[in-house]
Amino acid sequence: MYSEKVMDHFQHPRNVGEIENASGVGTVGNAKCGDIMRIFLDIDDETHIIRDCKFKTFGCGAAVATSSMATEMVKGKTIEEAMKLTNKAVMEALDGLPPVKVHCSLLAEEAVHAALWDYAQKHHIEIEGLKKPKSDIHEGEEDEAEEY
């Protein structure tokens, strides 16, 4: 079902964990749909280079693997470069995902953006092309929310 790359990143996820006093933290997804992704960024305020990136994810194999790959792909990049990270690029780097799992790769892109948004808010800066993240990337996918 999954490519070898996906399985490798699932079984040996890179950059799992938290960054204390992170420059930016972003959480996307929701537990109802079975996937939540949280990304921590450590950003150099002078150079805007992402020095470190860590993640925590609740979700399936694809969600964990895309989180892991996304953190690898933004580490060492500038904010501007990280902004160019797309879910498609993450998917390609993982040698593809099954069609039902494509939405997991959206989470990774959104989580990076959400963490950058948090950084921008804290530092009162504007990042070109960055929009306020949706609190829930599944917004609009369902008709009505059920309460438990």
Residues 6 or more apart whose CB falls under 8 angstroms from that of 148 comprise none
User: CB 66 → other proteins: shortest distance, Å?
Assistant: 13
- Contact positions with other proteins (CB under 8 A) in 55-74: 56-64
Determine the Cα–Cα distance for residues 7 and 144; give it in Å rounded to an integer.
Answer: 34
Question: Of 80, 59, 83, which Cα lies nearest the Cα of 137?
Answer: 59
Judge whether 104 counts as a catalytic residue.
yes
The answer to the question of residue 133 lying near other proteins (CB under 8 A) is no
User: CB 67 → other proteins: shortest distance, Å?
Assistant: 9
User: CB 86 → other proteins: shortest distance, Å?
Assistant: 22
Token pair for 17: 């964990």
The helix/strand/coil state of 1 is coil
The answer to the question of residue 121 lying near other proteins (CB under 8 A) is no
The answer to the question of residue 16 lying near other proteins (CB under 8 A) is yes
Determine the Cα–Cα distance for residues 97 and 133; give it in Å rounded to an integer.
Answer: 24
Determine the Cα–Cα distance for residues 122 and 30; give it in Å rounded to an integer.
Answer: 24
Chain residues in the site for other proteins (CB under 8 A): 7, 10-11, 13, 16, 18, 27, 31-38, 56-64, 100-101, 138, 141-142, 146, 148
Catalytic residues: 33, 104
